Each structure stands twice: as structure tokens, then as C-alpha cells.
Amino acid sequence: CYSGLFISQYQMSNIDLDVIKQKMEEGQTPFKKLIMCNLGNPCGVGQKEITFVRQLISSCLCPDLMKQNVFPADVCNRATRILDACSGKNTGSYQATQGIEPILRDVADYISLQDGFKCDKDSICLTNGAHDAVMQILRPIIRSQYDAVLTPRPGFPMFGALINYFGGKEVFYDLDKENDWKFSKSNLEDTLAECRQKGLIPRAIVQINPSNPTGAVQTEQDISDILQFAYSNSILVIADQVYQHNIYDPKKFPFISCRKVLYELNQKGLCLGQELISINSVSKSCYGECGRRGGYFQLENVCPLVVKQLLDIISLGATNTDGMIAIDVLVNPPKQNEPSYKLWHCEYYTILKELQGKAIYIAAEMQSWKGITCVAPQGAMYVFPEIHVSQKKIDQAKQQGILADDLYCRDLLHNVGVIVLPGNMFGQKDGTYHFRMTILPHKNELTELLKRWKAFHNKWMEVEAQ
């Protein structure tokens, strides 16, 4: 077998729960329900879908419904516009490699409006979610075992898994926890020195904004520093921006796209020709349509011959139509003068407000617990607390062949029934221990959960101190 198959590790969801579920059914656990706080999977934990997305997909799948006055006029108009651009006017057909034409135009208009700089639809490719976008980008970048991709630590483990799978090397640059997990220019220079010392060739740098798992939102200066670093070292920038709509204090911590900063630098004569690929997805934001597999990437300054060949390779597969339709709503929601606007606005901003409230509530609650430091997330849908673990627990975990944060998460699962992920999955400095928890379950469920969790935590910390 290909060696990269066994080097890759991405076990975020492959958790064997059969034994625990069996014990739970037999009444042998101190809890009656498992609470899934391990994945950013909103619809999987009860988040209500946005009606307009489902109506639009339904209209495109079953056009006869539009003749029965089932859906509002703006849904039918949008569906007709999309169907007219589909091959055979049918969503079951193969679509153009880059995507359905009116949806590409809507994505380009969205980017143009957001950044203040015109975006060409031909620079966009619709994809089967962000994961496929990353795979399509990384594969041609990595040529050998000496090619390195710089990723943030902590960061999203999908990048490391794919880099290893394609035979490259992942090299971390540390985010600054003392500065709310923001970017650190000096840490990046240290990473570059590490690459050179190991004989590696840095090919790309990954920027995740807002951050998964920390929820930090990068400043314009942070982004400018990354772009100028990349330009100085001839490195491609991959901007993972799938949480750009999950911003909880936009006045204090606004989302600023990497592309916008690049164009502003260009106006000053800086970073001219810098290669940038930006990624977005409908799996996050307030839609949470993970199962739709809708995403896109947008290219800046990438060689046209490379783009042509990349699209040729992408055409070997097919991008699913439902995901493209969902993306269209992400970038072009109902307008104020349209029939669906009122309901869409109510549903969307109710979800956003709830996420904002839960982010503040969970971080403040955990920050008050003994032995935990929790930075309040500014965006995304996670908290990433640090557990201050005693040497006794570290030694206990080591005897079992695991790390202390693995031990904490395992004990938490068996005693409280909540599934969170250990910080070592996302990268953390040696000697520090964290866990990542989603903020997605309902507020009432979280309130009850945190009461039981706090009791467990206090007992766990007391035992370790003895």
C-alpha cells in the first residue's frame, strides 16, 4: 500500500462508542444520554435548518412543486434561474467543472462586495465542501517528502492528515495564547528556520480565520504579516475562511478576508503577484449544512496553465448540485424586498445570537473552574480550554500510553457522557494540555451538562492533588 495511507491520522469522528452505548442501555452509566461536543456538525446536534436553503434545494430537485404554489415566489424564481443553467435543466446531470454559472456569478459578487475589489467568476471553483477544496489544492503543491506546508498550532488536523497522505511534511507555527491565540510573526520566523534546518522546502502556509479550534479572529495586521512573509519567501497562502460568518463581536473583532488585505497591500506596491487561494463552505456559518458538501475556492495570481490543468483533473469527478445550491444561499441570501426575507432573517440571526451567547457563557463558566484557563472565542463554534494538570496525572496517563488530555477526555466521557476532543489532536505546545468542545448543543442542555461536568472536574482535580 501507499505509505501515506498509514501515516495519516484524522480520527475526529471515528470514536468507538458501542461499549458505552451498551452500558447506557443497561443502566450502568451515570448518564442517560451521550452529548456530542466533538464535531462542528450543527444539524447533527439539533440545530434547526434554515428554511430558504431547504426550499430552494427542494424546488430544484422537484420542479413540479413550483407549479403547486408550495413555495414563495423568490424561491421559485431562484430555482428557475439555477435550473435554466443546469445541463438539461436538471440537477441530476453533470454540471460544468467550475460550477453552475449563475451561482459562480453570485459567489463573485459576494466576494467583490465583501472585499471592495472586483472578483472574476472565472477565478472560482465550486467544490464538494472545504475538504475536497483542500485536497485539490494540496495535491499539486506537494512534490516530495521535502516539501513542507506551514500550519497553525493549534489548528485543524485535516490539514496535517492530508499533507501526510500526499507525502509532504507539516511544520507548525505557534499561535500566541497570551494574546488570545493571535498570530505571532516571530513564531513564524522560527518555523521557517526549522524548515531550513531540516532541509525542507516551504511550499505553502495555511491561515485559518476565524481559528479552529481556538475561535480567535485575526486582525488586519496579522493577515498583512502573513502575506508579506509568504511573499518574501515565495510561499502560497491557503486561507481557510469557512467560519467567516461565525463572528460574535463584529465591531471589536470583524472578519477581514485575506484577499481584501492582499489587494490593499497591492495598492501600496507590496506583495504584487502573491499567490492566494481562499476557501469557504456552507457546512459552517449559521447554515450548518455539513451533509450538503457545498464549498468553493477562489484563486489569486495562480499560473493560468496550472489552473487549467487543475480544473482538468477536477473534471474527472463531479461536484454535487445540492451543495452548489446551498452555497448560492450562503453568498446570496434573500433580500429585504423578497417574500422569504423576514423568515430567513429571523432564523439566521436567532442561530447567530444563540451561538454568541453560548460562546460567552461556556468560556466564562469554565474560566471559573479550578485548574482551567479558557479564552473566550471571538468566532467559529468551539472553546479550547487549557487544563492545568498535575505531574501525577501526567504520569498516570503515560503509564497507559496516552497523554493527560486524552485521559481527561476519556474520564469525562465515562463519567459525564459528553464527547470532546483532546488538544493534542489539534497541536499544542509540549507540556500543555487542552480539549476542544463545540458550543452547538441547546443552551438548556449545556446548562445541565456543565453542572455535572463541573462536579466531575472538581473531583478529578482533587484526586490528582492527593
Those residues with Cβ within 8 angstroms of residue 303's Cβ, 6 or more apart along the chain or in another chain: none
Q: Give a yes or no: residue 178 inside a domain.
A: yes
420 torsion bin: left (phi>0), alpha (psi -120 to 50), beta (else): beta
Q: Which domain holds residue 399?
A: 4-46+349-465
The domain boundary, picked from 262, 297, 331, lies at: 331
Nearest to 394 by CA among 385, 403, 386: 403
The domain boundary, picked from 281, 299, 331, lies at: 331
Rounded CA separation 39/410 (Å): 16
pLDDT at 316: 86
- Indicate if 212 and 183 belong to the same structural domain: yes
Q: Give a yes or no: residue 389 inside a domain.
A: yes
Q: Give a yes or no: residue 105 inside a domain.
A: no
340 torsion bin: left (phi>0), alpha (psi -120 to 50), beta (else): alpha
SS3 state at 294? strand
Rounded CA separation 322/215 (Å): 29
Q: Give a yes or no: residue 126 inside a domain.
A: yes
Each residue's pLDDT expressed in tens, for the chain with a length of 466 residues: 666 666 666 665 556 788 888 989 989 999 999 999 999 999 999 999 999 999 999 999 999 999 998 999 999 999 999 999 999 999 999 999 999 999 999 999 999 999 999 999 999 999 999 999 999 999 999 999 999 999 999 999 999 999 999 999 999 999 998 898 988 889 999 999 999 999 999 999 999 999 999 999 999 999 999 999 999 999 999 999 999 999 999 999 999 999 999 999 999 999 999 999 999 999 998 999 999 999 999 999 999 999 999 999 999 888 999 999 999 999 999 999 999 999 999 999 999 999 999 999 999 999 999 999 999 999 999 999 999 999 999 999 999 999 999 999 999 999 999 999 999 999 999 999 999 999 999 999 999 999 999 999 999 998 655 4
- Indicate if 380 and 275 belong to the same structural domain: no
Q: Give a yes or no: residue 65 inside a domain.
A: no
Nearest to 285 by CA among 342, 346, 340, 349: 349
- Indicate if 324 and 361 belong to the same structural domain: no
pLDDT at 370: 94
What is the greatest pairwise CA distance in the chain? 72
- Indicate if 425 and 310 belong to the same structural domain: no
- Indicate if 264 and 175 belong to the same structural domain: yes
Q: Give a yes or no: residue 248 inside a domain.
A: yes
pTM, full prediction? 0.95
Total tally of structural domains belonging to the chain: 2
The domain boundary, picked from 331, 358, 382, lies at: 331
- Indicate if 317 and 373 belong to the same structural domain: no
- Residue 278 grid coordinates: 481562499
> H-helix or E-strand containing 457?
helix 443-465
pLDDT at 16: 74
Nearest to 71 by CA among 49, 47, 54, 88: 54
pLDDT at 201: 97
DSSP string, 243-272: TTT-BS-TTTS----HHHHHHHHHHTT-ST
- Indicate if 289 and 432 belong to the same structural domain: no
CATH of the domain at 279: 3.40.640.10
Q: Give a yes or no: residue 79 inside a domain.
A: no
